[in-house]
Amino acid sequence: MNASGQPTLDEIEDRFVELVEGRLPRDEADRWAARWVMEDGIVWDDLSWWALNRLYGIDLPAGEGGGYLHDDEQVRTWLAELRKRRAM
């Protein structure tokens, strides 16, 4: 967390890594991100905001067939995109 108490981009990326590695349940990642997305008065850089909004809703069900709206491959793609955008 930075001086204002909000998570850093490193911490946001860590949540993606934990999801991909199966160490963080999707509902927990969603609740964590929701706290920050819904918090008033926080100014985010574009990449952090983009990443938080990917995590928020990560546990949405795909429908009656089971699974998630955003499957594991999508989460891996988002992590790769985050890392790519950070490197730019």
- Domain membership of residue 1 (yes or no) is no
Distances (CA, A) of 65 to 25, 29, 61, 62, 69: 20, 22, 9, 7, 11
- Domain membership of residue 77 (yes or no) is yes
Q: What is the pLDDT of residue 20?
A: 96
- Domain membership of residue 24 (yes or no) is yes
The pTM of the full predicted model, rounded to 2 decimals, is: 0.91
Taking the C-alpha atoms of residue 58 and residue 55, their distance in angstroms, rounded to an integer, is: 5
C-alpha closest to that of 81 among 62, 59, 61, 53: 53
- Domain membership of residue 28 (yes or no) is yes
For residue 59, what are the domain limits?
9-87
- Domain membership of residue 75 (yes or no) is yes
- Domain membership of residue 47 (yes or no) is yes
Q: How far is C-alpha 85 from the geometric centre of its chain's CA atoms?
A: 15
Q: Are 29 and 51 in contact (CB under 8 A)?
A: no
| Sign of the CA dihedral with 71 first, then 24, 50, and 34 last | positive
The total domain count for the chain is 1
Mean pLDDT for each 10-residue chunk of the chain (88 residues)? 82 98 97 95 95 97 90 97 96
Taking the C-alpha atoms of residue 16 and residue 5, their distance in angstroms, rounded to an integer, is: 20
